[in-house]
């Protein structure tokens, strides 16, 4: 069953990034370039909004069953995406696909905790984290491969055979976690979905607006804040809250969850922006830029695995993520110094340092939160951390994307007046084919925009260092020394059926 969980995680992670290199071809086929940002935003909004719901449903009905339902939703949506005849249809089906991905992400880690003994949990969470990290890099390369050799539709349809294998694998194991009778907090789910949607839409739309005073941006931000406050108020009073605030009342769990959110920003920053440098500034095509990103993913994956195994054997559940946050901050500080003359190999090296940090943070602190959570809250505690992580990634896309886009537009307008930035935003590799005088100015513009985005990421990582430093190490050691609260296999053998 563990391989089935990994396969499900692969599908979810792959489709979050596979659209990057396939998008220009999709636009050429279906038209309506105005909907291009929604191909990613709609997926992320749906994924973030539904994760906690699936975590709760897993606690109620059994995580294996809900994981199978999430995979099924994802597969149906993948087929629909592959058959879409317009951009509107594709965006709508991407929302449904994001719902399935949110269920997969929200339940996968809790399923691992159900299956694996506590003394080996860090190692197996490392395996799962390795998959999530690796697919984010494989995605753009796979998208380019399908576009070049088959059709963009195969980027979605390829999920079907893998998903069916995943369903077959998870159906062969009857072990599941403890089930507790709950009611689903649908009001909380709606408030969470609307507030996160408003926030992400405001931040993702900021890059194309003149200022933060745009009426649309202000309306979205105001709505997000009001609904967010309403969500917290409702959760504090609901008999069966979607996100039990008691999980975050403990200092260790609250700070560990916040650190995961911040590291999610770092992960997105390391995945999205170096390829833009490789394409627009260094002149590589989309597939090769994906290969150049592989060292970041491999370092992230290797450190995820090593951190889990080291923590299992020697402890260090605070020292390891603290070291990781420092690596992220230093890595992005170095990336903020890039110029048009910076060698691609140096950008790769800086990215590897940041990737080392990301891998040391995420899974180690997820393991800590799981050990602090009661068995009855295992699913929702895990999905809360994963929600924070995906929210961090989404915020990274929105905030840093806004900074990069606004800086790029300003630089292009200053250096090449009258040039339409939209001609190169979707396909930065086109810069290499322009006239020499224009190409040089656009490369300078891209380098400035990217260095500015990396510069903004640095103080965010510094905040992460402070957050991890505030985690009480002694309390963590005492908790991890206790026998984990577990449900005997005899009791879990028929749960969730």
Examine the domain organization and report whether 199 and 180 are in the same domain: no
Q: Closest Cα partner for 73 from 40, 106, 41, 110? A: 106
Q: What is the pLDDT of residue 330?
A: 96
Residues near 167 by beta carbon (within 8 Å), at least 6 away in sequence: 4, 68, 71, 72
Range of the domain at 346: 2-184+242-492
DSSP 332-378: HHHHTT--TTS-HHHHHHHHHHHHHHHHHHHHHHHHHHHHHS-GGGH
Residue 83, domain member (yes or no) = yes
DSSP 224-272: HHHHHHHHHHHHHH-SS-SS-THHHHSHHHHHHHHHHHHHHHHHHHHHH
Residue 62, domain member (yes or no) = yes
Examine the domain organization and report whether 396 and 278 are in the same domain: yes
Q: What is the pLDDT of residue 491?
A: 33
CA distance 212 to 113: 43
How many domains are there within the chain?
2
Examine the domain organization and report whether 259 and 311 are in the same domain: yes
Examine the domain organization and report whether 213 and 271 are in the same domain: no
Examine the domain organization and report whether 427 and 486 are in the same domain: yes
CA distance 348 to 278: 10
Cα–Cα distances in Å, from 203 out to 183, 211, 219, 397, 400? 33, 11, 12, 9, 9
pLDDT tens-digit series, residues 354-402: 999 988 888 788 777 777 766 666 666 777 787 788 788 878 877 888 7
CATH code of the domain covering residue 65: 1.20.1250.20
Read off the DSSP letter of residue 337: T
Residue 256, domain member (yes or no) = yes
Examine the domain organization and report whether 337 and 229 are in the same domain: no
Q: What is the pLDDT of residue 174?
A: 57
Examine the domain organization and report whether 142 and 192 are in the same domain: no
Examine the domain organization and report whether 268 and 328 are in the same domain: yes
Residue 210: CA count within 13 A, CB half-sphere: 3
Cα–Cα distances in Å, from 438 out to 341, 352, 411, 427, 428? 17, 32, 13, 16, 14
| Tokens 């002149």 found at | 283
Examine the domain organization and report whether 98 and 198 are in the same domain: no
Record the tokens describing residue 76, joined without a space.
Answer: 């149906």
CA distance 145 to 294: 15
Examine the domain organization and report whether 218 and 343 are in the same domain: no
Examine the domain organization and report whether 252 and 232 are in the same domain: no
Which segments of the chain have a pLDDT < 70?
1-3, 20-21, 23-24, 28, 31-37, 109, 113-134, 136-137, 140, 144, 172-184, 204-212, 286-287, 312, 314-316, 373-380, 422-423, 425-427, 429, 473-497
Residue 59, domain member (yes or no) = yes
Q: Which of 217, 241, 265 is the last residue in one of the domains? A: 241
Residue 369, domain member (yes or no) = yes
Q: Closest Cα partner for 457 from 341, 364, 337? A: 337
Q: Which of 220, 241, 262 is the last residue in one of the domains? A: 241
Residue 333, domain member (yes or no) = yes
Q: What share of the chain is helix, strand, coil (3-state, %, to 5)?
A: 80, 0, 20
Using CB atoms within 10 Å of the CB of residue 283, give its burial: 0 to 12 exposed, 13 to 18 middle, 19+ buried.
Answer: middle
Examine the domain organization and report whether 199 and 343 are in the same domain: no
Record the tokens describing residue 104, joined without a space.
Answer: 């997969």
Residue 497, domain member (yes or no) = no
Note the residue count of the chain.
497
Q: What is the pLDDT of residue 481?
A: 58
Residue 261, domain member (yes or no) = yes
Q: Over the Cα atoms of the chain, what is R_g?
A: 22
DSSP 393-407: HHHHHHHHHHHHHHH
Distance between alpha carbon 62 and the CA centroid of its chain, in Å? Answer: 25
């Amino acid at each position: 069953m563990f391989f089935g969980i990994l396969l499900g995680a692969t599908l979810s992670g792959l489709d979050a990034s596979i659209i990057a290199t396939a998008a220009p071809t999709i636009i050429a086929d279906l038209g309506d370039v105005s909907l291009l940002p929604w191909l990613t935003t709609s997926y992320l909004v749906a994924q973030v909004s539904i994760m906690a719901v699936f975590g709760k449903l897993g606690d109620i009905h059994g995580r294996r069953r809900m994981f199978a339902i999430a995979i099924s939703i994802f597969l149906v949506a993948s087929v629909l995406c592959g058959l879409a005849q317009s951009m509107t249809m594709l965006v709508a089906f991407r929302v449904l696909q994001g719902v399935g991905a949110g269920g997969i992400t929200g339940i996968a880690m809790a399923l691992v905790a159900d299956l694996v003994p506590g003394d080996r949990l860090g190692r197996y969470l490392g395996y799962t984290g390795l998959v999530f990290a690796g697919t984010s890099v494989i995605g753009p390369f796979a998208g380019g491969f399908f576009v070049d050799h088959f059709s963009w539709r195969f980027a979605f349809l390829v999920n079907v055979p893998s998903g069916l294998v995943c369903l077959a694998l998870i159906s062969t194991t009857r072990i599941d976690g403890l089930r507790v009778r709950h009611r689903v907090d649908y009001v909380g789910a709606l408030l969470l979905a609307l507030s996160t949607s408003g926030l992400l839409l405001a931040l993702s739309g900021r890059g194309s607006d003149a200022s933060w005073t745009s009426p649309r941006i202000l309306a979205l931000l105001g709505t997000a804040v009001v609904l967010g406050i309403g969500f917290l108020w409702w959760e504090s009073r609901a008999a069966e809250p979607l996100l039990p605030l008691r999980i975050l009342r403990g200092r260790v769990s609250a700070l560990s969850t916040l650190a995961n959110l911040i590291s999610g920003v770092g992960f997105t920053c390391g995945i999205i922006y170096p390829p833009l440098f490789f394409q627009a500034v260094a002149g590589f095509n989309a597939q090769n830029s994906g290969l150049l990103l592989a060292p970041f993913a491999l370092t992230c994956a290797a450190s995820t695995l090593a951190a889990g195994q080291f923590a299992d054997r020697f402890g260090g559940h605070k020292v390891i993520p603290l070291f990781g946050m420092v690596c992220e901050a230093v890595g992005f500080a170095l990336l903020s110094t890039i110029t048009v003359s910076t060698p691609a190999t140096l950008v790769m090296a800086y990215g590897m340092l940041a990737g080392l940090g990301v891998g040391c943070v995420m899974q180690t602190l997820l393991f800590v939160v799981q050990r602090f959570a009661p068995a009855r809250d295992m699913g929702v505690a895990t999905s809360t951390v994963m929600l924070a992580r995906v929210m961090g990634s989404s915020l990274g896309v929105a905030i840093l994307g806004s900074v990069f886009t606004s800086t790029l537009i300003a630089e292009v307008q200053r250096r090449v007046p009258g040039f339409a930035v939209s001609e190169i935003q979707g396909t930065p590799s086109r810069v290499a084919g322009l006239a020499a005088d224009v190409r040089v100015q656009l490369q300078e513009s891209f380098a400035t925009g990217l260095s500015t985005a990396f510069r903004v990421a640095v103080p965010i990582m510094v905040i992460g260092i402070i957050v991890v430093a505030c985690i009480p190490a002694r309390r963590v050691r005492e908790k991890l020394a206790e026998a984990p609260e577990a449900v005997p296999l005899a009791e879990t053998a028929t749960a969730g059926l």
